């Protein structure tokens, strides 16, 4: 009788955990937490940008020194991705996230009371180092809670909500600086980070999967890097993001210097590309339930290559020397870019779900680190050319390289397999190599 009625040891407990996770995953509160933990660092970055000229004047320093409050902030974001992701695999999502946000609050208080520009730059660096933990851990939490085919849609949904906040954050910062002075921006950032920390502490449960092995950064990263699928998805996501960095770096010089338009007009056109990226993420959310992750990536890649090729052709003809043609075509690329980035990120962090933090961190670190170089390269192409051809050629080349990672690196999935079989195949591949 016992043999018939009994259950495997731990089965009931596992069912309870699964039910709890299902309830968490469908909660609107969880979606809100994912948005705020992802957005607190980048929104804090963009909010201070309008005050940079005032900072240079206040501290009697060159604008290039004031710019370091942004550039070193980005360095902090990149390093945080590499540090916080593996730590969340080892110690859990919740404690590492709270520690990171706590560091952001402490650094925010330091920035408010900074008396010199170097002190402010240092405080901003640690602000990013702590705050960006939300960016990397949010992707890991999404992988903890949702099946592989839903991860891309959830990332897109979080990014779509985040994009709206990022669009208004520079305006908010500019209005605060005008009305109350630049320190008011730092007060708001600190108060917002404290609010997010308290919210996460009260509402976020631990979502990390139980592991039988003892996690280590070297071991997890080694297994991931031996997987062709992970390397391919990661490179696809990182290369797709470089299209944004390249265009953002070269765009201002093309519009202002080559086309003779105002910086305000450039800002309006660039906002259109951000809106296109938002639309792409919303479309991805809509299409994800009916199409596989791979199909969505291939659709995005085809549209991305087609849009960048069209912009290249328009450069040869000279038509995109007008902003409407250049940015109109780039909007096609940005819609496609949303499909590629969200779903390739989902593919990368799904290879080894128990090491989702390490996977997310490695991907984010490469994205930000290479992005800083590509942004400079884009600025060089835009600032040292008389036409749009060099920049659009570079973007087309990046689009082709992005597509090549899916063609030549990511293994084909010819049969429908379960998540367990995928993990088993990856473990066997790692053992052979």
Number of neighbours of residue 354 by Cβ within 10 angstroms: 18
Domains of the chain and CATH, by start: 25-208 (1.20.1250.20), 219-432 (1.20.1250.20)
DSSP type of residue 350: T
- 3-state SS string over the chain? CHHHHCCCCCHHHHHHHHHHHHHHHCCHHHHHHHHHHHHHHHHHHHHHHHHHHHHHHHCCCCHHHHCHHHHHHHHHHHHHHHHHHHHHHHHCHHHHHHHHHHHHHHHHHHHHCCCCHHHHHHHHHHHHHHHCHHHHHHHHHHHHHCCHHHHHHHHHHHHHHHHHHHHHHHHHHHHHHHHHCCHHHHHHHHHHHHHHHHHHHHHCCCCCCCCCCCCCHHHHHHHHHCCHHHHHHHHHHHHHHHHHHHHHHHHHHHHHHHCCCCHHHHHHHHHHHHHHHHHHHHHHHHHHHHCCHHHHHHHHHHHHHHHHHHHHHHHHHCHHHCHHHHHHHHHHHHHHHHHHHHHHHHHHHCCCHHHHHHHHHHHHHHHHHHHHHHHHHHHHHHHCCCCCHHHHHHHHHHHHHHHHHHHHHCCCCCCCCCHHHHHHHHHHHHHHC
Q: How many helices (H) and strands (E) does the chain have?
A: 19, 0
DSSP, collapsed to helix, strand or coil, labels residue 256 as helix
What's phi and psi for 10, nearest 5 deg?
A: 85, -5
From residue 253, alpha-carbon distances to 259, 262, 272, 337, 383 in Å are: 9, 11, 17, 23, 5
pLDDT value of residue 432: 40
Contact 278, 160 (CB under 8 A): yes
DSSP, collapsed to helix, strand or coil, labels residue 99 as helix
**Torsional class of 160: left (φ above 0), alpha (ψ -120 to 50), beta (otherwise):** alpha
pLDDT value of residue 8: 46
Q: What span, in angstroms and rounded, lies between the C-alpha atoms of 260 and 298?
A: 38
Nearest-10 crossing angle of helices 323-349, 148-180: 130
Is the entire prediction scored with pTM above 0.75?
yes
The pLDDT tens digits along the chain (433 residues) read 344 344 444 444 445 455 545 555 557 788 889 989 998 998 898 888 788 888 888 888 887 788 788 888 888 998 998 899 999 998 999 999 999 999 999 999 999 999 999 999 999 999 999 999 999 999 899 988 888 888 888 888 888 777 777 777 877 888 888 889 899 999 999 999 999 999 999 999 888 877 666 667 788 888 999 999 999 999 999 999 999 989 988 888 888 888 888 877 877 888 888 889 989 999 998 998 889 999 999 999 999 999 999 999 999 998 988 899 999 999 999 999 999 999 999 999 989 888 889 999 999 899 888 887 888 788 888 888 889 999 999 999 999 999 999 999 999 765 344 455 455 545 544 444 4
pLDDT value of residue 386: 86
pLDDT value of residue 428: 45
Contact 113, 62 (CB under 8 A): no
């Amino acid at each position: 009788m016992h043999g018939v009625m009994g259950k495997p040891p731990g089965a009931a407990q596992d069912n309870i955990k699964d039910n709890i996770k299902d309830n968490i995953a469908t909660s609107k509160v969880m979606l809100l937490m994912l948005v705020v933990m992802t957005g607190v660092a980048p929104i804090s970055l963009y909010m201070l940008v309008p005050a940079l000229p005032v900072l240079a004047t206040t501290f009697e320093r060159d604008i290039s020194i004031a710019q370091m409050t942004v550039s070193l902030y980005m360095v902090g974001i990149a390093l945080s991705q590499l540090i916080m992701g593996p730590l969340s695999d080892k110690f859990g999502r919740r404690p590492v996230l709270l520690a990171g946000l706590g560091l952001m609050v402490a650094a925010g208080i330091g920035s408010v009371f900074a008396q010199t520009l170097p002190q402010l730059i240092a405080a901003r660096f640690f602000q990013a180092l702590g705050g960006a933990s939300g960016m990397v851990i949010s992707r890991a939490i999404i992988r903890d809670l949702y099946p592989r085919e839903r991860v891309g849609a959830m990332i897109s949904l979080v990014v779509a909500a985040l994009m709206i906040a990022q669009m208004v954050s520079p305006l908010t910062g500019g209005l605060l600086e005008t009305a109350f002075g630049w320190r008011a921006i730092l007060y708001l950032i600190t108060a917002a980070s404290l609010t997010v920390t308290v919210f996460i502490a009260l509402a976020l449960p631990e979502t990390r999967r139980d592991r039988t092995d003892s996690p280590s950064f070297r071991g997890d990263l080694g297994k991931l890097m031996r997987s062709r699928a992970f390397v391919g998805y990661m490179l696809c996501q990182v290369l797709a993001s470089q299209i944004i960095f390249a265009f953002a770096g070269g765009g201002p010089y093309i519009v202002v210097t080559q086309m003779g338009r105002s910086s305000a007009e450039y800002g309006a056109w660039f906002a259109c590309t951000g809106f296109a990226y938002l639309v792409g993420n919303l479309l991805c959310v809509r299409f994800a339930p009916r199409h596989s992750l791979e199909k969505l990536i291939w659709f995005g890649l085809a549209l991305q290559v087609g849009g960048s090729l069209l912009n290249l052709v328009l450069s040869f003809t000279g038509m995109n020397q007008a902003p409407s043609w250049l940015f109109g075509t780039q909007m096609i690329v940005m819609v496609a870019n949303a499909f590629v980035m969200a779903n390739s990120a989902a593919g990368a962090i799904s290879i080894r779900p128990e090491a989702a933090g390490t996977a997310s961190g490695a991907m984010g670190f490469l994205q930000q680190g290479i992005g800083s170089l590509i942004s400079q390269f884009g600025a060089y192409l835009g600032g040292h050319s008389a036409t749009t051809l060099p920049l659009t050629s570079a973007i087309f080349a990046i689009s082709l390289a992005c597509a090549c990672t899916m063609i030549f690196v990511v293994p084909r999935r010819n049969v429908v397999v379960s998540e367990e079989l995928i993990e088993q195949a990856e473990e066997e591949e790692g053992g052979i190599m």
